[in-house]
Amino acid sequence: MTTERALRLFVAIELPEAWLRALGELQERMQAALAEDEALAGVRVRWVRPEGIHLTLKFIGEVAPERLPPIRDQIALAVPQAPEIELALGRTASFSGRRAPRVVWAGVGTQQPDVLRRLAEDIETWLAAADVPRERRGFAPHLTLARLPNDLADGLRARVASVTGAVESPDVAPFKIEHVSLMQSFLGPGGARYERLGWWPG
């Protein structure tokens, strides 16, 4: 008897093609800036593939396949209608671990920050009813562009963050959130691959 493999799930806002192209261009600008810095020669940065960049609202983690239907049901209850929240591409920055930057990201701006936060909180609350643990950290909307390897020295981490943070984001038109997606991630040597399992409102 075989046991089905766990599903690695998260809830996200998928980005329009224009944004994915703009973010790919931003990554290329960052890579060029890093290549011009002699101190960073040979530093390995793990870039997220542009087509995989998204705005995560809730990371669920690994769950048994039989838990998928109630999770889908709860998301449907959390998102009964189109959010209609307009997002604009913001500045670039980095998240730090205990000592030094670990993630390079682009921010998202909105004139409706409370509405966006409430959307994430509603998803959090409804999924808790499906036994999905609540996130301890507050919601911080961002688009992950790259991750720095764990064995990179703190000084080099800070330098990568400084160089990439100085690169301006390209101009791209804002867009309105029409759907919230349940995504499955597949981890592999070439990086993560994502598949949409559903979106709401459907």
- HEC string of 142-200 equals EEEEEECCCCCCHHHHHHHHHHHHCCCCCCCCCEECCCEEEEEEECCCCCCEEEEEEEE
Residue-wise pLDDT tens digits, 118-145: 999 999 999 999 999 999 888 999 999 9
Structure token digits, residue 18: 């224009």
pLDDT digits (tens, 9 = 90+) for 26-44: 999 999 999 999 999 888 8
Share of the chain above pLDDT 90, in %: 82
pLDDT in tens, 47-59: 999 999 999 999 9
Name the packing angle between helices 17-35 and 154-165 (round to 10°): 130
**Domain boundaries of the chain, sorted by first residue:** 7-194
What is the pLDDT, as a whole number, of residue 3? 58
Residue 132 is predicted with a pLDDT of 97
* 1 pLDDT tier (thresholds 50, 70, 90): very low
Report which of 32, 156, 158 is spatially closest to residue 95, judged by C-alpha positions.
158
Assess whether pLDDT exceeds 60 at residue 98.
no
For residues 105-115, give the mean pLDDT: 95
Q: What is the mean pLDDT of the chain?
A: 93
Q: If you average pLDDT over residues 163-183, what whole number do you get?
A: 96
Average pLDDT over residues 147-176: 93
Beta-carbon contacts of 51 under 8 Å, excluding residues fewer than 6 positions away, are 20
Do strands 86-96 and 7-14 pair parallel, antiparallel, or not at all (unpaired)? unpaired
Q: What CATH code is assigned to 7-194?
A: 3.90.1140.10
pTM: 0.91
In this structure, of 45-49, 66-70, 125-129, 186-190, the range with the lowest mean pLDDT score is 186-190
Which comes out higher in pLDDT, residue 175 or 152?
175
